Each structure stands twice: as C-alpha cells, then as structure tokens.
C-alpha cells in the first residue's frame, strides 16, 4: 500500500493519501489548504484518485476538497451529518456510515462513526494497519468537544470504541499536535491520558 502523511496549512493539519501499489487506485483523506501540494503527491505516485474521504465537516479538513475533485474526478465521501454541515462549494457525492467498507486493490477500508468532536466524525481502518482518526484522537490527546455539534459524553463513548481496536494499528490523526507524528494505538492506550481515563467522570476532569 502506498501511504503518505502530508502536512498542510498553518494549523498543523495532516491530509493522508492511500493507494494500491499495483492498480494505483487511491483515496485522499481531509484535503485542505494546499491542493497543489496534494495533487503533486498524487502525481508523484501516479495515483488514480477515486475517493476523497472527509473525517468531519470542519473547514480545516475540507477546504481543498472541491479543487482536488475538480482536478481528479474523485468523488467526495462522508457521513450524513458531515454532509448536512458542509458549507460553500464542497458537497458530498456519496454517504458512508458505521460498518461500511470499501476496497482499494486487495486492501479493505472500514468505517467507524465516532461522534463527539463533530456529529459526523468518522475513523477509517485501512488494510488492518492504519487507523485514521481525524480530530477524534490526536497523539497524546483528543479533539475538543465544545465546538457547535460537539458533545463530551459522545466523545468519551467514541474513545471507548477506539480503545477496543487492536494495538498494532498506526494512529493517523488530523493534526500534528503531539510529541510524534504518529504512534501505534497500543502506545496511545499506554500513554494518552484521554484513553487512560476509565470513567466519564475522570474524562470530564481532563
């Protein structure tokens, strides 16, 4: 699998490119701020981009989706709550929800609905190797729940859902906010206070 973590913009955002090495079919997660940079990475790997997946509706994760779609023909895919909240030029072509799957070459990509930071937040498990978390889980922290549509209790429940996933997954978060650009989910379970919180009460305190 081709994998690239791409730093974009001035808010320490990450976009992600995944593609099959043989067919070159690929998808991009959270294109923002710098469509030319993202298109260059796509070109460098000779990727045929078929999907643009949005982890949630916040502008710093979607504001280059329209330009990337116009230049590649890829369809924009997101949760229905993200579609409801998208503004401006970007709109979805296809909805995805908890339990949905799609394939890129031999690799399977599955979707988890993880509301709390935003109502339409999703995680992607890619090829049983990577876990794309958007702003739900950062390295060493989690996203805020006090923005419109956020909810601390649902965020806590979503983090409990993530905690049940296998340790070997590599966490690919939506921002470069932590001590490393990525860590395994096993490391996050050992080191990240928001995953160590064992009750809603202790999560509230954090």
Where does this chain bind Fe ion (CB under 5 A)? 58, 135
Closest to Fe ion by CB, 4 vs 135, is 135
Between 20 and 135, CB nearer to Fe ion: 135
**Cβ 150 to Fe ion shortest distance, Å:** 9
Residues ≥6 apart with Cβ < 8 Å to 12: 175, 176, 177
Residue 64 sits at the vertex; the CA angle it makes with 123 and 126, to the nearest 5 degrees, is 25
Q: Residue 113 CB, nearest distance to Fe ion (Å)?
A: 15
Cα–Cα distance for residue pair 66/150, rounded to 1 Å: 25
Nearer of residues 135 and 188 to Fe ion, judged by Cβ = 135
**Which ranges of 98-144 would DSSP assign to H, the alpha helix?**
none
Give whichever of 26 and 140 is closer to Fe ion, judged by the CB atom.
140
Gap between the Cα atoms of 84 and 149, Å rounded:
12
Quote the CA–CA distance of 15 and 22 in Å, as a whole number.
22
CB of residue 2 vs Fe ion: minimum separation in angstroms? 26
Cβ 146 to Fe ion shortest distance, Å? 12
């Amino acid at each position: 699998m081709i994998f690239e973590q791409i730093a974009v913009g001035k808010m320490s955002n990450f976009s992600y490119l995944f593609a099959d090495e043989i067919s070159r079919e690929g998808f991009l997660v959270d294109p923002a701020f710098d469509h030319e940079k993202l298109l260059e990475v796509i070109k460098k790997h000779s990727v045929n981009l078929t999907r643009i997946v949005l982890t949630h509706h916040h502008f710093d994760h979607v504001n280059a989706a329209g330009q990337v779609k116009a230049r590649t023909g890829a369809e924009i895919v997101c949760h229905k709550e993200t579609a409801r909240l998208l503004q401006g030029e970007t709109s979805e072509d296809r909805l995805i929800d908890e339990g949905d799957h799609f394939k890129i070459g031999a690799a399977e990509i599955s979707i988890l609905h993880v509301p709390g930071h935003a109502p339409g937040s999703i995680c992607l498990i890619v090829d049983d190797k990577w876990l794309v978390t958007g702003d739900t889980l950062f390295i060493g922290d989690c996203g805020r729940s006090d923005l419109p549509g956020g909810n601390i209790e649902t965020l806590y429940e979503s983090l409990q859902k993530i905690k049940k996933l296998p340790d070997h997954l590599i966490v690919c978060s939506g921002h470069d906010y932590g001590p490393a650009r990525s860590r395994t989910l096993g490391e996050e379970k050992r080191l990240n206070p928001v995953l160590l919180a064992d009750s809603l009460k202790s999560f509230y305190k954090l």
